[in-house]
Structure 1
């Protein structure tokens, strides 16, 4: 069965979505796509350009106003348009080299996953199903360097500091009850050891060839700049292979960081390599949302997350590499010179590694804790605890946020 027929079959097996296909002028585009899916003879470049122009228009709508205020229906339209763009593009380029075709199609899919939203069942995994089909047809990428990320001993700026404060306490894989009563209940940070030694990710993700073979062609958002509070900080979409080559294995002048990204929701092929820690099943009350937000943090040495707070419980699991973590309790906020304005009010202006006591004299009164987080360790960061994170080496971490 041809790739194009497989992709068109993903949609046909599920039927229609009335509330999307009946949306004003765009319904014309969906009707054209529906007709073309049944009659391949009418697929042409004009139809592809029509779908792409609609995607551009929807993309413009996303860039106006606050992302959180974008109607879910607008993002679902992007998902459906991306799907139609995929199979039409494949139909018009079936003589193109298989690997080049797969790379281009996966980029279309990933943009749809990044900016779109899941449809209603049975279409909720529409683009994921397409990605799986396309990935199975391409030749696996090869990586000719035989080493691990953890062998890259890049010098880190954070090593210039001598004193960070009090060393955090550690506990060897506490029971759920012990963790709840001793740490979570009292909102006390702790380093958890020997809890994730069984994760395949600890060895698999340390191997560049594994990640490049598994997800090398996938498109992800990469932060460019030393930290998000800098004026020249920006983001760029690029393939995982390009990110690894240009920002992990190379030594560019600009730091690149795959930070706070729901990578495993976008690319579920990596999910079997780890699991959500059992501690995340604990909730403060029966009304709490049971959702666990899982984010990837992958980058070279010297990535920095400035001193900031988050509203949820956080388990930060270190896959490979080392990170310096500095923490301060919520009651230290009075000494931390928070940024003004809604966007950065949860972020301090103080650099705890090199504090400027002339500009921030009160910071000298703040009590700090620290830990060098190493592979297979988990750090529990309670809600509203201030934390500063800097990688000492190339590093991959996974965070689990929950209420």
Structure 2
């Protein structure tokens, strides 16, 4: 099993940051960010505390006044710090914290490093998925795996009497009711809707992955449970 530390180079690749870092740090310094530049340089050299300190410094600058008055360079600085912090979280196997750092970089950061952030999120999710599947495989080998995934909606048997109670009486007056599998919209309109004939349509959603995936709590937590999203109050 490969460790998160072994996957860090491929999970979080930052080509834009690598090429734009000198110019970005110079711009930050020219706007008074000497301390940030120092911390960011140490973070790039492998200092996790420096990465966290740089993130806090950029965060303070983002909240130094109204959003429209924040210098764009500090938004890019925050994105840079978030990428550094996420790398350390991933190397420690902290997938949730890594994703949160990257999501915050997207929400609050600037456009310069957006591609790096998006790519890093895909990499962390892939590394997390591999880690999850390896754990499941290990549990199955040891006999500790669950019998099945937890479903949000439990399958229920078809209750014909309940359907007859709900349906209007006139809807049951037709002696012949057709039953078609995966009927197209065009065929439904031409063959049944225009003539007012009833029809039972089946299997129209059988190919939808959401029928099973969105009903699996483990799947939802695995792909979206650790993501951070902005919430705005509209009055």
TM-score (norm 2): 0.53
**How big is the alpha-carbon RMSD for the aligned residues of Structure 1 and Structure 2?**
4.1
CA apart distance, 1:124: 3.4
- After superposition, the Cα gap between the structure-2 partners of 1:126 and 1:19, relative to the gap in structure 1 and judged at 3 Å, is same
Count of residues in Structure 1 that have an aligned counterpart in Structure 2: 168
Distance of 1:87 and 1:48 partners within structure 2: 10
Alignment partner, residue 20 of structure 1:
24
Match status 1:85 vs 2:85: yes
- After superposition, the Cα gap between the structure-2 partners of 1:201 and 1:115, relative to the gap in structure 1 and judged at 3 Å, is farther
Asked whether the 8 Å contact 1:51–1:85 carries over to 2, the reply is no
Q: Greater helix share, 1 or 2?
A: 2
Q: Greater strand share, 1 or 2?
A: 1
Gapped regions of structure 2 (runs ≥ 5): 137-147, 157-183, 186-204
Alignment partner, residue 134 of structure 1:
124
Give the match's secondary structure for 1:220. Answer: coil
Asked whether the 8 Å contact 1:205–1:211 carries over to 2, the reply is yes
Alignment partner, residue 102 of structure 2:
109
Larger CA Rg, structure 1 vs 2? 2
Asked whether the 8 Å contact 1:75–1:116 carries over to 2, the reply is yes
Work out which of the residue numbers 206, 216, 228 in structure 2 matches 1:219.
228
Distance of 2:37 and 2:15 partners within structure 1: 12
Work out which of the residue numbers 14, 27, 33 in structure 2 matches 1:10.
14
Match status 1:60 vs 2:44: no
- After superposition, the Cα gap between the structure-2 partners of 1:16 and 1:29, relative to the gap in structure 1 and judged at 3 Å, is same
Gapped regions of structure 1 (runs ≥ 5): 152-171, 174-196, 230-343, 345-403
Distance of 2:228 and 2:21 partners within structure 1: 27
Distance of 2:102 and 2:208 partners within structure 1: 27
Match status 1:33 vs 2:36: no
Alignment partner, residue 150 of structure 2:
145
- After superposition, the Cα gap between the structure-2 partners of 1:19 and 1:216, relative to the gap in structure 1 and judged at 3 Å, is same
4+ runs deviating over 6 angstroms: none
